[in-house]
Structure 1
C-alpha cells in the first residue's frame, strides 16, 4: 500500500494551478511533486467543486499538450512575444 503524501496549502494550490494550465504536462507535476497522473486527478477531485472537476476533466481528457508522449517533438516551453527578458534580477523596462 502506498503511503499518501500530505501537501501544504501552497503546494496544493500549485498542483491545481499546474493541472489547469494547458501547456503543463502531467509529467511536470510528477517530476516536481512525485505524484502520478492518477494521484493528480484524485487531488483535483477532492479539492474542486464537482462541476469544476467535471469541466476540468472534459478539458484535459485527450489534450495533446497535457501528455508529453502525445506532444509534437518541436513543442517546447511557451513564451509570450510580449514577455521581456529578466536580467540580473531586474525586469527590463518597456
Structure 2
C-alpha cells in the first residue's frame, strides 16, 4: 500500500520524525505511515548525510517508541516549543 502525501503533509511528517518527543506511533496514527515507512520516506527525502544523522539520533531513543517510553512523558512537545 502506497500513501501519497501533499507537500505540507510530507514536510510535517519529516518535522515530526526529527522531533525527539514525537513517537512513531503518532506519525502512524495521523498519516498512516509505520516506522519502516517513515524510515523509507526519510531515506528518500533527506540528503544521505542528514539521513545518517537522523538514524543515529532516533535509533534506540526511548521517546520515539511508546512501548519503551517513560509513562511520565505524556506530551509530544516541550511547553515552550510553540510560543505565541
Give TM-score, length-normalised by structure 1: 0.81
Answer with 57-66 or 72-81: which moved more: 72-81
RMSD (CA atoms): 1.8
- Aligned to 1:75, what secondary structure does the other structure show? coil
The 5 Å alignment of 1:49-60 reads 49-60=47-58
Larger radius of gyration: 1
Q: Runs of 5+ in structure 1 lacking a partner?
A: 85-90
Stretches of 4+ aligned residues off by more than 2 angstroms: 78-84
Q: Runs of 5+ in structure 2 lacking a partner?
A: none
**2:79 is aligned with 1:80:** yes
The residue aligned with 1:65 is 63
Cα distance 1:12–1:83, how it changes in 2: closer, same or farther (>3 A)? closer
Give TM-score, length-normalised by structure 2: 0.90
Higher relative CO (CA 8 A, sep ≥ 6), structure 1 or 2? 2
Provide the rounded CA distance (Å) in 2 between the counterparts of 1:44 and 1:83: 24
Provide the rounded CA distance (Å) in 2 between the counterparts of 1:82 and 1:61: 23
Per-residue CA shift, 1:55-89, capped at 9, x if unaligned? Answer: 000000000000001111121114436977xxxxx
The residue aligned with 2:8 is 10
